[in-house]
Structure 1
Amino acid sequence: MNDSFMSHQKLRRLTLTMMLVAVTVVISRIFLIPIPLTRGNINLCDAGIFLTALSLGPREGAAVGALTGFILDLLSGYAQYMFFSLAIHGIEGLVVGLLAAKFLGKAGQVLVLCIGTLVMVSGYFGSDSLLYGISMGLIGIPANLIQGMVGAIVAFFLNDKIGGLLRR
């Protein structure tokens, strides 16, 4: 293949990845459930991260995760979480993308999405505990689990419909 074709493919992939960041930020801001106890919220961020990682792989999953997490915290006024979210959601997308290539089929997808959810939940347990103490870390676990599970369910069902379009 010539260099021009490869450059075009890389540019196309980068553009698609950045569009997925934008779409994930928008759906995460539209579908927002405030959690008064933790002063945080449940959103669909993980759905976009999971869908990207399942469809495009670990690099794109990590990019969408990291950038989306960072941008959402910036827009939501949670500056203290921006860099934590960049790392947590970036690792989440990376792990799901890497494991999705190894665990194929519907059962494999379910396993991979559960692992991705646990990565996110454990990451926020750590960051909440570091920022506010272990009790706040523990209090945040149920809301983070719900967010991760909702994201996993949405991504699981959308992957059949949208995943094929993204892989083209």
Structure 2
Amino acid sequence: MQKIDTKDLTLLALMTGLSLVLGLIHVPTPTGFLTLLDTGIFFTSFLLGSRRGAIVGGLSAFLLDLYLGYPQYMVFSLLAHGAQGYFAGWQGKGRLLGLLLASVIMIVVYILAAFALGYGWGGAIAGIWGNFCQNTLGLVLGFSFYRAFTRVFPRR
């Protein structure tokens, strides 16, 4: 088992907090709203890799649902955004496949959540477009912030 040091744990806590705060920002749409939670998840995954992206993604989404009063979605969000963070953090030749898997898995988990929570086909289909848009917005903004961050603070 790998030993986790205080610096790494602190960084994960800060990135989880950042993603949680971004999740509180709501972008209105005709069918509801989008949050910027995915922006923090993609940024973390690009910057810190798969394992840390999964931890931050799952934990921040889990806590966001708790804070906003949607406890029925907490476990689904943990799985959906944890997987999203993991696959988005793939490097090299697998990066494109990882981003595709991150998007598809997040959407599919929320489709399954609609069925598990009793919303049926109507709820499942209605959520697809919003989840796709939120995922795409998060990917574009997360990658943009990652590029800007790595230009200002290049890795040594």
After TM superposition, is the score higher than 0.5?
A: yes
**What is the match of residue 3 of structure 1?**
none
Alignment counterpart, residue 135 of structure 1, candidates 118, 122, 132:
122
Identity of matched residues, %: 34
Tell me how far apart the structure 2 counterparts of residues 103 and 155 of structure 1 sit (CA, whole Å): 19
User: Where do 1:16-95 residues align within 5 Å?
Assistant: 16-29=11-24, 31-33=25-27, 41-95=33-87
Runs of 4+ with deviation above 4 angstroms: 34-37, 163-168
The 1-side partners of 2:150 and 2:121 are apart by: 38
Partner of 1:11: 6
Q: Deviations over 1:104-130 (max 9, x none)?
A: 7xxx4x654343222211111111122
User: Aligned-pair RMSD on alpha carbons?
Assistant: 2.5
Taking the TM superposition and a 5 Å limit, the aligned residue runs for 1:106-145 are: 108=95, 112-131=98-117, 132-145=119-132
Matched letter for residue 24 of structure 1: S
TM-score, normalised relative to structure 2: 0.85
- Is there any run of 5+ residues in structure 1 with no aligned partner, and where? 1-5
Aligned length in residues: 153
Q: Which amino acid aligns with 1:93?
A: G
Given the two structures, how large is their TM-score scaled by the length of structure 1? 0.80
**Structure 2: tracts of 5 or more residues without a match:** none
The Cα offsets for residues 122-167 of structure 1, whole Å up to 9 and x where unpaired, read as 1111111221112211110000000000000001111112257496
Q: Deviations over 1:41-97 (max 9, x none)?
A: 410111111111111111110111111111110111111001111111111111222
Higher helix share: 1
Alignment check: 8 A CA contact 2:115 2:121 kept: yes
